[in-house]
Structure 1
Amino acid sequence: MAQFGSQEWVELLKTTVNKDKELPRAGKGFDATIHFVATGAKGGDIHFWTHMKDGAVLEAVSGEDRKCDFTLTGDYALWKEVVAGKQDPLQAIMTKKLLFEGNMQTVMKYIKAVNLVMESVKKVSTSWQ
């Protein structure tokens, strides 16, 4: 079990996502970096990013040291619900609980891949502050 947003956790996320057999087909043509931000955590905001290409996570890094194509920002408690499968991330975006920056048309084009990634996130053994 790894702490949400830690380097260990993002490496587990990368491994879990890359095990998905459907994702290479669903994510074919997608090449982007995604920055995730959890605000209001006890030790300060949590940042991590992933670089995905053709349905695979190529890099996963804890920290905010990269210009990204997309950014998802939400309260720490909301991320806990998303990871637990209690909050649909797309619904959270539509209701502005989860703030999205980037090209929504691209996300919608690859919606199956997005859903598969979110299913993988739920499989990562996660500890919380």
Structure 2
Amino acid sequence: MGAKFPSQAWADAMKAAVNSSESYAAAAKNWEGDFYFVVSGSEEMIYMDLWHGQCRNAVYTTDPAFKTPEFKITAKHDQWVKVLQGKLDPIQGMMTRQLKLDGNLIKIMQNVKAAQELVGCAAKVDTEF
């Protein structure tokens, strides 16, 4: 049985997937930035602190004041399902406004491979929607 998205169990599984991925570590070796992945229409979000190819922290929260991340990506639950299943590329989702980005799009565009590898890590998490 998989971890419910979003939940602390899912955040923990995602952190483990990121930290065990050699391809993410290589693609994101110069990345410094943290994120909120927000489910619109709810108070639920996952905070992830990503630093030089590793995830230093991953927390499920309903408190937007928990942290002040560099990036916040907001989408409806069904859009997150598509991203996590590999049916929606997150960069394409941001460009087509299916995912709303608060933060520096240029920095993300300079790190497309890291974003793709992060989604690859998410796809490896046994997720229950």
TM-score strictly above 0.5: yes
Unaligned stretches of 5+ in structure 1? none
* Cα distance in 2, alignment partners of residues 102 and 47 from structure 1: 16
| 8 Å Cα contact 2:90-2:115 kept in structure 1 | no
Aligned residues: 125
Deviations 1:88-117 (A, max 9, x none): 111111110100111112112221111100
**4+ residue runs over 6 A deviation:** none
Q: How does 1:81-96 map to 2 (within 5 A)?
A: 81-96=82-97
User: What secondary structure sits across from 2:39 in the alignment?
Assistant: strand
User: What secondary structure sits across from 1:52 in the alignment?
Assistant: strand
Unaligned stretches of 5+ in structure 2? none
Structure 1 residue 29 displacement after superposition: 2.3
Residue of structure 1 in register with 2:34 after alignment: 33
User: What secondary structure sits across from 2:75 in the alignment?
Assistant: strand
Aligned CA RMSD, in angstroms, stands at 1.1
Structure 1 residue 27 displacement after superposition: 1.3
Residue of structure 1 in register with 2:105 after alignment: 104
| 8 Å Cα contact 2:108-2:115 kept in structure 1 | yes
* Cα distance in 2, alignment partners of residues 107 and 91 from structure 1: 12
Residue of structure 1 in register with 2:51 after alignment: 53
Q: What is the TM-score normalised by the length of structure 1?
A: 0.91
Q: What is the TM-score normalised by the length of structure 2?
A: 0.91
* Cα distance in 1, alignment partners of residues 35 and 6 from structure 2: 13
Identical residues among aligned pairs (%)? 29
Q: How does 1:111-122 map to 2 (within 5 A)?
A: 111-122=112-123
User: What secondary structure sits across from 1:28 in the alignment?
Assistant: coil
